[in-house]
Structure 1
Amino acid sequence: MQEILSQINRIPIRKNYVENLPYNPKLKPLLHGKRKAGILSEVIFWKQVRAKIFHEIDFDRQRIIGNYIVDFYVKKLGLVIEIDGWSHDVKKDYDEVRQKFLESLGLKIFRATDFDVKNNLGSVMKDLEDFIVENYAAETTPS
């Protein structure tokens, strides 16, 4: 039996907790600085998802997974949310290696651009809903 986390547009969303994620404690001192930096697009997104206000789903901000710090993480879905700013244009190889590593752990990655979060937030949130439904909708048994 699938454990249901939430519903999006009446579609039940199943939990997909990924256990035993690697954690590099040496990155912990960087977390406070990244949070305090207050990158505008991350702050805007955080205001949309903090305190379970997005479909009662709990998001973590600046989460260490392996040797990486991801922008946002939904533990009960095994979902990483990355907001890509201009620096990602010059880090394509790094981002590709990072994404393959995260996917190898069984995680899914949703990406939004810094521009879209600042200028098309409604569209980003709808795309996130669609991504969650597409990847985590509970299987229904025919009646």
Structure 2
Amino acid sequence: MATERQDFARRLRRQSTKPEDILWSLLRAHRLDGLKFRRQVPLLGYTVDFLCLQRKLVIELDGAQHDVERDYDAARTLEIERHGFTVIRFRNETMLNDRDAVVAAIREAAGTATENPHL
């Protein structure tokens, strides 16, 4: 039986935003340097947008609502990082307007910056 947090993650996957859909199309099925990413994953009491357990990397896409949630986001990031994860954040606008920069930053954080520069 699914937990409340798993149900919430499923709901978020069904209601994804355009920037999330774009990033997922770049990450899914090991498309980025063979790394396995999952989306809307329960982690440490939170639901993170994208997770690569292999590299302990969390990717968050932030829309306008995050402007008023800065303190919460900062505390959440610190808690996740305290458990050995790296958290990187991108504004939705960046995902929509500069995919190459987002992919380069993900590769840098994952330590695969030079493995496959032609995604």
TM-score interval, smaller chain: 0.7 to 0.9
RMSD value over aligned CA atoms?
Answer: 1.3
- Alignment pair present for 1:52 and 2:43: no
Partner of residue 70, structure 1: 48
- Alignment pair present for 1:93 and 2:93: no
Give unpaired runs (5+ residues) of structure 2: 113-119
Residue identity matched to 1:52 = H
Identify the match of residue 109 of structure 1 among 64, 81, 87: 87
TM-score with structure 1 length normalisation? Answer: 0.73
How many residues are aligned here? 110
Counterparts of 1:124 and 1:116, CA distance in 2? 7
Identity %: 28
Q: Mark the structure with the bigger radius of gyration.
A: 1
Counterparts of 2:41 and 2:83, CA distance in 1? 15
Counterparts of 2:28 and 2:111, CA distance in 1? 20
Partner of residue 127, structure 1: 105
Counterparts of 1:132 and 1:74, CA distance in 2? 9
| Cα deviation, residue 30, structure 1 | 0.7
Counterparts of 1:105 and 1:130, CA distance in 2? 20
Partner of residue 40, structure 1: 18
Higher relative contact order (CA 8 A, sep 6+): 1
Deviations 1:78-134 (A, max 9, x none): 110111111110001100110111011111111111001011111111121122228
Q: Which has the higher helix share?
A: 2
Counterparts of 2:104 and 2:17, CA distance in 1? 22
Counterparts of 2:61 and 2:7, CA distance in 1? 21
Change (3 A) 1:128 1:54: same
Give unpaired runs (5+ residues) of structure 1: 1-24, 135-143
Counterparts of 2:41 and 2:97, CA distance in 1? 25
